Amino acid sequence: MRIVVVSAGLSSPSSTRLLADRLTAATLEHVAAETEVIELRELATEIAQHFVTGFPPARLAAALDAVAAADGLIAVTPVFAGSYSGLFKSFFDLIDKDSLTGKPVLLGATGGTARHSLVTEHALRPLFTYLRALVLPTAVYAASEDWGEEGLAQRITRAGAELARFTTPAAVPGQAPDVDTAAAIAPRSLTGAITSVDPADGFVTVPFEQRLAALRVP
């Protein structure tokens, strides 16, 4: 089992790499896997050369091969001008069109403000859907004010568990699955949809009118 992590952070240290590391750690809590981190800032010159010459230098070729051979992918980018960075897009422009087909991909992004929180949905998710990757339900965006907050930690935990679930090999026929692990990864609602609700807490539906009433000022 091998998980490749692509980080497009430009500084060192960077919040983008920090998010990538935390997503990796959350995944490894549920599945045993080898990991490889690809720092795109170290490949920026090689990426530009590939566009000009049509041939990838050795380090870039190795990175592209690693992504293609991975069982799962974590891809994290900083937000520039309301979208993924140019370096991030350039790298994935060089990926063979069939390399990511059916591959589980966990998306992450970092930015200075919560106003960019939908970048994972309007920019990243369409990009990897176009590449026919299996984009996981939970994508994680971390604004500057999110670090240290419980909500970010919960999203990271849930996203890592989802990636572990989708990269875990199918159960061997006749062998009982790990029930505890299965319950911890991507809980499902009564309809079978993936949900953030813990099954142990039950599935109580609160009427919308009751929710509105609870928000009214006395």
pLDDT of residue 209: 75
Which of 52-56, 63-67, 156-160, 207-211 is least confident? 207-211
| pLDDT tens digits along 114-147 | 889 999 999 999 999 999 999 999 999 999 888 9
Q: Lowest-pLDDT range, 4-13, 87-96, 151-160, 186-195?
A: 186-195
Which pLDDT tens digit goes with each residue over 4-29? 999 999 988 899 999 999 999 999 99
How much is the pLDDT for 149?
Answer: 84
Supply the DSSP string of the chain, one letter for each residue: -EEEEEE---SSS-HHHHHHHHHHHHHHTTS--EEEEEEGGGGHHHHHHHHHHSS--HHHHHHHHHHHH-SEEEEEEEEETTEE-HHHHHHHHSS-TTTTTT-EEEEEEEESSGGGTTHIIIIIHHHHHHTT-EE-S--EEEEGGGTT-HHHHHHHHHHHHHHHHHHSPPPPTTSPP-HHHHHHSS-B-TTS-B-SS-GGG--PPPPHHHHHHHHS--
Of residues 181 and 158, more confidence is placed in: 158
Query: For 23-66, what is each residue's pLDDT tens digit?
Result: 999 999 999 999 999 999 999 999 999 999 999 999 999 999 99
- Residue 165 has a pLDDT of 93
pLDDT above 90 covers what percent of the chain? 66
Give the pLDDT band (50/70/90) at residue 148: confident
Q: Looking at residue 183, what is its pLDDT?
A: 40
pLDDT band at 201 (very low <50, low <70, confident <90, very high): low
